[in-house]
Amino acid sequence: MQWDKTSLITGDIACDGRTDQAYVGHAKGKIYVGLYRAQTAKVQILEFRVGGGYQDAICREPGKLAAEALDYDMDSDVEGYQKSKVCKGLILSDDACDALHFFWNHTTHLLNWWRN
Protein backbone atom coordinates (compact mmCIF):
# COMPACT_ATOMS: atom_id res chain seq x y z
CA MET A 1 0.00 0.00 0.00
CA GLN A 2 1.13 3.54 -0.78
CA TRP A 3 0.04 6.48 1.41
CA ASP A 4 -0.68 9.73 -0.43
CA LYS A 5 1.20 12.36 1.59
CA THR A 6 -0.59 15.15 -0.31
CA SER A 7 -3.95 13.95 1.06
CA LEU A 8 -3.16 15.04 4.64
CA ILE A 9 -6.18 16.38 6.54
CA THR A 10 -5.69 17.78 10.05
CA GLY A 11 -8.21 18.71 12.71
CA ASP A 12 -9.96 17.43 15.80
CA ILE A 13 -11.41 14.30 14.23
CA ALA A 14 -11.52 12.17 17.43
CA CYS A 15 -13.36 14.92 19.34
CA ASP A 16 -10.81 15.03 22.15
CA GLY A 17 -9.44 18.55 21.69
CA ARG A 18 -6.30 17.37 19.88
CA THR A 19 -5.25 17.80 16.25
CA ASP A 20 -5.43 14.42 14.49
CA GLN A 21 -4.23 13.47 11.00
CA ALA A 22 -5.99 11.57 8.23
CA TYR A 23 -4.57 10.23 4.96
CA VAL A 24 -5.65 8.24 1.91
CA GLY A 25 -3.73 5.13 0.90
CA HIS A 26 -3.87 3.20 -2.38
CA ALA A 27 -3.27 -0.40 -3.40
CA LYS A 28 -4.47 -2.39 -6.38
CA GLY A 29 -8.28 -2.28 -6.34
CA LYS A 30 -8.42 -0.81 -2.83
CA ILE A 31 -8.40 2.56 -1.12
CA TYR A 32 -7.68 3.19 2.56
CA VAL A 33 -8.48 5.95 5.00
CA GLY A 34 -6.03 6.15 7.87
CA LEU A 35 -6.56 8.16 11.06
CA TYR A 36 -3.64 8.99 13.34
CA ARG A 37 -5.00 9.98 16.76
CA ALA A 38 -2.81 12.55 18.49
CA GLN A 39 -4.03 11.65 22.00
CA THR A 40 -3.17 7.94 21.81
CA ALA A 41 -0.56 7.92 18.99
CA LYS A 42 -2.51 5.02 17.44
CA VAL A 43 -3.57 4.55 13.83
CA GLN A 44 -6.90 3.20 12.61
CA ILE A 45 -7.09 2.09 8.98
CA LEU A 46 -10.36 1.57 7.09
CA GLU A 47 -10.30 -0.37 3.81
CA PHE A 48 -12.63 0.17 0.84
CA ARG A 49 -12.95 -1.34 -2.62
CA VAL A 50 -12.65 0.53 -5.88
CA GLY A 51 -15.53 -0.35 -8.22
CA GLY A 52 -19.24 0.22 -8.61
CA GLY A 53 -22.02 -1.77 -7.01
CA TYR A 54 -20.65 -1.96 -3.45
CA GLN A 55 -21.69 0.02 -0.39
CA ASP A 56 -18.13 -0.04 0.99
CA ALA A 57 -16.46 1.32 -2.14
CA ILE A 58 -15.70 4.29 -4.29
CA CYS A 59 -16.46 3.89 -7.99
CA ARG A 60 -13.10 4.98 -9.40
CA GLU A 61 -9.67 6.24 -8.52
CA PRO A 62 -8.41 8.60 -7.41
CA GLY A 63 -10.51 9.18 -4.33
CA LYS A 64 -10.22 12.60 -2.72
CA LEU A 65 -10.27 13.05 1.05
CA ALA A 66 -11.48 16.33 2.54
CA ALA A 67 -12.56 17.67 5.93
CA GLU A 68 -16.28 17.97 6.56
CA ALA A 69 -18.22 19.93 9.18
CA LEU A 70 -20.27 17.82 11.60
CA ASP A 71 -22.64 20.66 12.46
CA TYR A 72 -25.73 18.83 11.16
CA ASP A 73 -28.34 16.42 12.43
CA MET A 74 -28.51 12.98 10.84
CA ASP A 75 -31.67 12.09 8.93
CA SER A 76 -31.53 8.65 10.49
CA ASP A 77 -30.35 7.50 13.88
CA VAL A 78 -26.68 6.54 13.42
CA GLU A 79 -25.22 5.00 16.58
CA GLY A 80 -22.42 7.04 18.10
CA TYR A 81 -22.85 10.14 15.93
CA GLN A 82 -22.88 13.50 17.72
CA LYS A 83 -23.44 16.83 16.05
CA SER A 84 -20.48 19.16 16.67
CA LYS A 85 -19.40 22.68 15.85
CA VAL A 86 -15.80 21.81 16.81
CA CYS A 87 -15.04 18.25 15.69
CA LYS A 88 -14.30 17.54 12.04
CA GLY A 89 -15.57 14.72 9.90
CA LEU A 90 -14.06 13.43 6.68
CA ILE A 91 -15.52 12.86 3.23
CA LEU A 92 -14.08 10.50 0.62
CA SER A 93 -15.37 11.18 -2.88
CA ASP A 94 -14.59 10.30 -6.47
CA ASP A 95 -17.17 12.42 -8.37
CA ALA A 96 -18.70 9.20 -9.77
CA CYS A 97 -20.85 7.78 -6.95
CA ASP A 98 -22.12 8.83 -3.51
CA ALA A 99 -19.37 9.94 -1.15
CA LEU A 100 -18.38 8.14 2.04
CA HIS A 101 -18.76 10.28 5.17
CA PHE A 102 -16.63 9.63 8.27
CA PHE A 103 -17.26 10.66 11.87
CA TRP A 104 -15.89 9.85 15.31
CA ASN A 105 -18.20 7.28 16.90
CA HIS A 106 -18.71 8.31 20.54
CA THR A 107 -19.99 4.81 21.43
CA THR A 108 -17.23 2.63 19.92
CA HIS A 109 -14.48 5.29 20.12
CA LEU A 110 -13.45 4.56 16.54
CA LEU A 111 -13.74 6.29 13.19
CA ASN A 112 -17.00 5.21 11.57
CA TRP A 113 -18.58 5.88 8.16
CA TRP A 114 -21.95 6.21 6.46
CA ARG A 115 -23.18 6.71 2.93
CA ASN A 116 -26.44 8.14 1.59
pLDDT tens readout for residues 47-103? 999 998 889 999 999 899 999 999 998 877 789 999 999 999 999 999 899 999 999
**Model's pTM, two decimal places?**
0.93
pLDDT at res. 59: 94
The count of structural domains within the chain is 1
Range of the domain at 19: 2-114
By CB atoms closer than 10 A (0-12, 13-18, 19+), residue 100 is buried
Q: What is the dihedral of CA 89, 95, 98, 103, to 10 degrees?
A: -10
Kindly report, residue by residue over 5-63, the tens digit of the pLDDT: 899 999 999 999 999 999 999 999 999 999 999 999 999 999 999 998 889 999 999 89
Of the pLDDT bands very low, low, confident and very high (cuts 50, 70, 90), residue 3 is very high
